[in-house]
């Protein structure tokens, strides 16, 4: 779709900038979920068309941090976000081990794992270009409502709404979705240089309509804190915008 092609243009530009060297590089911030699948497929197709030397340099320089990961799933579990990212980007692009950074969902001390993930991101200078989806209750990452803008990387309890929304990978059973996760907070998300909010599908129309009708942030809708960011782009299809255009 045109949305994916144009957004891939933006991501390709960011990745080419990263080839200029560490001084120009800030990592990509990546998201998971069905919304991202066609985008990542289009990105892989684009990047595999690069000259072999450029592609090899991209593999060496790749650095990305995912927003979140479930607690309690093994890295090899097909329902884990690490497995998702390996399937979507890691294996198709032959990225080296460690290029795709995610929180440690198997850590014995989850709170310590969240701090470790936050520190690793800070060492890289924070996010350059951040991809975001929009949860049906207004969450970004796993920042469930209510959520203030100063909330940082941490362990969170997932809401019933989020577990219902994510039940597809768990045989449709919300009770099988893990109850906790590690997520980057609004603090890290809002520190990104650029943010791309990707919203598709009619099921997202009600929450996107609420978001677009707001003129100031409200902790009850965590995505509304994006209103305070100077460089946010909304990428939405006609279905997601269907209630906003009435």
Looking at residue 2, what is its pLDDT?
A: 80
With the CA atoms of 199, 232, 222 and 210 taken in that order, what torsion angle do they form, in degrees rounded to the nearest 10? -60
Q: Which of 68, 69, 104, 188 is catalytic?
A: 68
- Among the listed residues 66, 137, 143, 166, the single catalytic one is 137
Please name each of the domains of the chain with its CATH number. Answer: 2-15+26-236 (3.40.50.1360)
Q: What percent of the chain has pLDDT over 70?
A: 97
Distance (Å, rounded) from C-alpha 78 to C-alpha 201?
Answer: 24
pLDDT band at 245 (very low <50, low <70, confident <90, very high): low
193 given a catalytic annotation:
no
Query: What is the reported pLDDT for 244?
Result: 76
Known catalytic residue at 144 = yes
Nearest 10 degrees: CA dihedral of 31, 32, 38, 43?
50
Note the pLDDT tens digit of each residue in 32-71. 999 999 999 999 999 999 999 999 999 999 999 999 999 9
| Cβ-based neighbours of 31, under 8 Å, separated by 6 or more | 66, 67, 131, 132, 133, 141, 198
Among this protein's residues, is 68 annotated catalytic? yes
Catalytically annotated residue among 18, 66, 143, 144:
144
State the SS3 of 133-194.
CCCCCCCECCECCCCCCCCCCEEEECCHHHHHHCHHHHCCCHHHCCCEEEECCHHHHHCCCE
Interstrand relation of 28-30 and 154-157 (parallel, antiparallel or unpaired): unpaired
What pLDDT, in 10s, does the model give residues 169-187? 999 999 999 999 999 999 9
Q: Which one is catalytic: 18, 69, 86, 139?
A: 139
Q: How confident is the model at residue 24 (pLDDT cuts 50, 70, 90)?
A: low
pTM of the predicted structure, to 2 decimals: 0.96
229 is catalytic: no
| 226 contacts 149 by C-beta, under 8 angstroms | no
| Residues 85 and 70: beta-carbon distance below 8 Å | no
Give 3-state DSSP helix, strand, coil % of the chain, rounded to 5.
45, 15, 40
End-to-end CA distance of the chain: 23
Is pLDDT of 1 > 70?
Answer: no
pLDDT at 75: 83
What single DSSP character describes residue 115?
H
């Amino acid at each position: 779709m045109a949305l994916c092609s144009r957004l891939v243009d933006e991501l390709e530009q960011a990745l080419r900038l990263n080839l200029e060297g560490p001084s120009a590089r800030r990592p990509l911030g990546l998201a998971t979920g069905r919304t991202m699948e066609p985008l990542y497929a289009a990105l892989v197709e684009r990047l595999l068309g690069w000259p072999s030397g450029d592609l090899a340099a991209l593999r060496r320089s790749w650095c990305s941090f995912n927003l979140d990961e479930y607690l309690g799933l093994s890295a090899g579990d097909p329902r884990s976000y690490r497995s998702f990212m390996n399937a979507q980007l890691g294996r198709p692009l032959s990225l080296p081990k460690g290029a795709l950074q995610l929180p440690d969902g198997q850590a014995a001390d989850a709170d310590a794992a969240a701090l470790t993930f936050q520190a690793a991101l800070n060492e890289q200078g924070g996010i350059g270009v951040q991809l975001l989806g929009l949860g049906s209750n207004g969450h970004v990452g796993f920042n469930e409502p209510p959520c203030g803008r100063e909330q940082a990387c941490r362990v969170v309890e997932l809401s019933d709404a989020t577990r219902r929304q994510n039940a597809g990978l768990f045989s449709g059973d919300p009770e099988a979705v893990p109850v906790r996760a590690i997520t980057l907070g609004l603090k890290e998300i809002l520190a990104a240089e650029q943010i791309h909010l990707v919203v598709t599908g009619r099921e997202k129309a009600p929450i996107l309509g609420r978001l677009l009708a707001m003129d100031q942030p409200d902790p009850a809708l965590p995505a509304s804190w994006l209103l305070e960011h100077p460089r946010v782009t909304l990428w939405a299809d006609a279905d997601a915008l269907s209630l906003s255009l009435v």
